[in-house]
Structure formats: structure tokens, C-alpha cells
Amino acid sequence: MNFRQNAASLIVLAMLMLLGATAVAQDTALKIDYQKYKLDNGLEVILHEDRSDPITAVAILFHVGSNREEVGRTGFAHLFEHMLFQESQHVGQDQFFRKIQGAGGTLNGGTWEDGTIYYEVVPKNALEMVLWLESDRMGFLLPTVTMEAFQNQQNVVQNEKRQRVDNVPYGHTNYVIHKLMYPEQHPYNWQVIGSFEDLQNATIEDIHNFYKKWYGPNNATLVIAGDFDEAQTKAWVQKYFGELKASPAVAEPKAMPVSLTETKRAFHEDNFAQSPEMNMVFPTAPQFKKDSYALDLLGDLLSQGKKAPLYKVLVEEKQLAPDVSARQNSSEIAGDFRIRVRAFPTSDLDDVEKALKEAFTRFETEKFTEDDLARIKARTETNFYNGINSVFTKAFQLAYYNEYAGSPDFITNDIQNTLDVTSADIWAVYNKYLKDKPYVITSFVPAGKPELTAENSD
């Protein structure tokens, strides 16, 4: 998993901002010592000792995101992220926050297409309390999940959608892209926040069944990282989590990459946008596939630095935009390669689309050097190490690799897979996924300026 590109990493980066963490490049070879074992109920536990500071991070990753939902039953995973912070059978309303913050710690959580993460970073003497709290909401949540509580959190989610999607510039971009990119039955067709209609139509039985199916210990990884006593911590884990019952076994999601038979276009007059924005999106490969690593580097070669063709054509020469980005989004069952251009206020997105195609031609004719590729790899490697510089980020990454790659050891394989990419690999994925291939293209323009939209957009 390239730390910069994976969808889940956006959650981690947001959490880092809350924690006030700073990234520091490391020169030593990657080595993260850990112990891994499994409880009888299937919970996988990973311990990583780091006594550099008297703090401990706890992360629980449930292998359930919006990709575990079904058409007509969307938004449940995100809603349960909220529900788990409210109360459980032995922990009163809002006591999760009060107890952990009262101990001098921080806590948060996040849901994305492929999973749900909860974390705490606390002084080491608060570890037992955290384990008790986490075990209670894993095993004893349902008695507090009433229809009244469920409806209350629906209102919270509606307000969240207004604040983060409806009333922000370009807030509906992902919704439009996913609807055009993925068929109706594909789990990435709908947004993580789900459909309000689905939530309103849900019964209490629907809600309880979703939790029983996906939030058991056998569908989760618990990571404890930082300053702790190993024997005591193992005893606490057994005491608080060992009694929990496993959920029925569920199958791992299978890769569901998609393809397009034709280019799909859409435009939207955005009441909050000040400048037109274009997204050109190509379906690609899921995470951890060989192609995904080459696509990661291709994005930087196309857009990063003054030699990059997208930058040279759109920013320097045609002066259509202040910047441009290109990146691979690698997720569990599918992936996409996205080029985003937030143009200057008067730029016509027709001109932007033509400039993007001109930049592709420039890339093919001018190519790139081995030095260019080495520079991009070095930056990627630095960013990777920056992403595991704290006990919290190490806890998250160990949990992530365990759940989605099958072992925490894959953290070493992952960065090496990037460093092993060759120039031939770059050209192979460019030709396979981008060159002359259909794509999804969105034009978001300020309200009242439809003339800035790319042609033939619906």
C-alpha cells in the first residue's frame, strides 16, 4: 500500500492533523518488530513495543466498509462508526470521549469503502481502560442500539453530509464519478455515507443483523503499539476480549475491477465553486497488484515537478490552472487513476481536456529518464517512512497490512514493490490503462457559467 495513495491513508492523514504529528524522514532500513497471535474467538492481536515515549496507541480495524453493503442497504457501516462512539451496555452516553480525554488521551475513528478504524493514543497507564472500552463496544453494543438511537445518529449523519458534501465546493465530485464508473450492483457505486432513503427504510432488525455479521472479533485486528508491559497487556487482552463471541464466518471480498466501453461525461453547476474543475478518471487495478505500484509512480511522473508533462502544458505553457494532480487510487476490490485540474476562474474546461491530451502526447514523445524515475522513487520512499514515524501510524499500518494483505510483514514487501518498478512497467500500465482508453470526465463549474463546461457533457 502506497501510504500517499490509498483511500484509507486519507483518514490517517486527517487523524495525524488532530494529533499534531509531524513527519520526519528516516535513513535506516525498515524494521518494525511485532508479535502476532490470535484469540480463540478469531481476534488477531498485534503487539509492537516502542518505549521512546510513555504513550500507547490502540487501533482496532474492522474489515467492514461500504463495500460490504448491498443495494438498498447502504450507509450502515458509516452510521455504525457514529453509533460506536455513543454508548454500550456498560459504558454510558458519551463516556468514551470523556474517559479517554479525561486521561489525557485522544481518540477518533473513520470509515471508508473497505473498512472502519477506531483508535486511541493515551498515556501508558490508561491502556487497561482503553481495552475495556473497546471490548465493550465490540461485544456489548447492541442493547443500546434502539430505533431512537439509530434515528438520532441519522440526523447527525445528515448534518455531516450537509457540512462536508452538500455545502462545500466540488463536494459531489466523488458521487458523480463513482456512479459513472461503477455498475449499480458494484460496491463502489455508492458513497460511504450511503443513501438517506436506505437509512430511513431500515428496520431495527436490519441494523442489528448488520452489526452481528460484521463487527465480531473474528473480523477485526487489534494493534497495541508503544510503551506497555507485554505480559500484563496480553492478560488484559484475554480478560476483556477473550470472552467475546465470534460472528459467523464471512468470505473475503473478491477483486471487482471494472472497464469502460466508452467515455462518460457529466457536468454540474456548483453553487459553491469559484473556479471550474475537471476530473479525468480511468479504471485501473486494485491495491497490492503489480500494476498498482507502477500506476502510483506514473501519476508522479505525469504531474510532479517542472519537467512533468501535465505541469508543463497546463500550468506553464497554456496557463490554464495553478496546478494539476495525477494519482492512482488503490482500493481493496478496484482502483482508478485520477487526474484533477482545478482551473483558473476563466479557463474553459474544453481547453483543459485538449491540454490533457496534448500532455499525454508530450509524455509519449519526450518520455522520461531513469534519473526521473529514481527521483520519484526516492520521494515515494521518503513519504512511506514519514507515514510510519509515530506509534499511532505504525499501529494503523500494521493493522491495515494484516487485514488486507494477510500479514503485517507486507509492510516491507509493499515499499520494495514500489522500488522494484521499472521503466518498462511504467510504459506497460500507461498503454494498458490510459493511452487511447475511455474514461469518466466531470466538469464542475461555478453556478451560472455552463459555458465553461467541456463539450458533450450531460
Residue 394 inside a domain? The answer is yes
Q: Is the pLDDT of residue 386 over 60?
A: yes
Across the chain, what does the average pLDDT equal?
A: 93
187 shares its domain with 308: no
State whether residue 34 is helix, strand or coil: coil
- For residue 27, is it within any domain? no
pLDDT tens digits, 167-185: 999 999 999 999 999 999 9
Sorting pLDDT into bands at 50, 70 and 90, what band is 306? confident
The reply to whether 221 and 278 lie within a common domain is: no
The confidence score (pLDDT) of residue 11 equals: 53
Domain boundary among 187, 209, 241: 241
Could you give the dihedral angle defined by the CA atoms of residues 241, 247, 250 and 252, in that order, rounded to the nearest 10 degrees? -20
- Same domain? For 210 and 275 the reply is no
Same domain, 90 and 226: yes
One domain, residues 201 and 269: no
Domain assignment present for residue 341? The answer is yes
Question: What is the count of structural domains for the chain?
Answer: 2
Closest by CA to 376, choosing from 290, 298, 288, 292, is: 298
> Is residue 365 one of the residues assigned to a domain?
yes
Given a cut of 70, whether residue 455 has pLDDT beyond it is: yes
* pLDDT tens string 188-239: 999 999 998 999 999 999 999 999 999 999 999 999 999 999 999 999 999 9
| 140 and 232, same domain (yes or no) | yes
Q: Is residue 457 part of a domain?
A: no
250 CB burial (10 A radius; 0-12, 13-18, 19+): middle
Given 3-state DSSP classes, what are the helix, strand and coil percentages for the chain, each rounded to the nearest 5?
Answer: 45, 20, 35
Domain harbouring 38, CATH code: 3.30.830.10
Whether residue 214 is found in the same domain as residue 299: no
pLDDT at position 295 over 50 = yes
Q: Among 1-10, 28-37, 436-445, name the one with the lowest average pLDDT.
A: 1-10
Residue 291 within any structural domain of the chain: yes
In sequence order, what are the beta bridge partners of 49?
A: 226
Per the structure, the complete domain to which residue 357 belongs is given by 264-452
Check if the beta carbon of residue 398 is closer than 8 Å to that of residue 412. Answer: no
Asked if 78 and 210 sit in the same domain, the reply is yes
| Percent residues over pLDDT 70 in the chain | 93
Q: Mean pLDDT, to the nearest integer, of 274-281?
A: 98
* Beta strands 440-446 and 264-270, pairing class: parallel
Judgement on whether residues 153 and 288 belong to the same structural domain of the protein: no
**Burial class of residue 142 (count of CB atoms within 10 Å of its CB; 0-12, 13-18, 19+):** middle
pLDDT higher than 70, residue 1: no
301 and 351 part of one domain: yes
Give Cβ neighbours of residue 436 (< 8 Å, ≥ 6 apart).
Answer: none
Same domain for 96 and 237?
yes
User: What confidence category does residue 396 fall into, taking pLDDT thresholds of 50, 70 and 90?
Assistant: very high
- Return d(Cα 46, Cα 216) in angstroms, integer: 17
Query: What is the pLDDT averaged over residues 314-341?
Result: 98
* pLDDT value of position 31: 78
- Of 209, 241, 273, at which residue does a domain stop? 241
Judge if 170 and 285 occupy the same domain.
Answer: no
Q: Is the pLDDT of residue 389 over 60?
A: yes
> Is there a domain that residue 255 lies in?
no
Cell numbers 442497504 correspond to 73
Q: What is the pLDDT at residue 458?
A: 65
The answer as to whether 248 is a domain residue is no
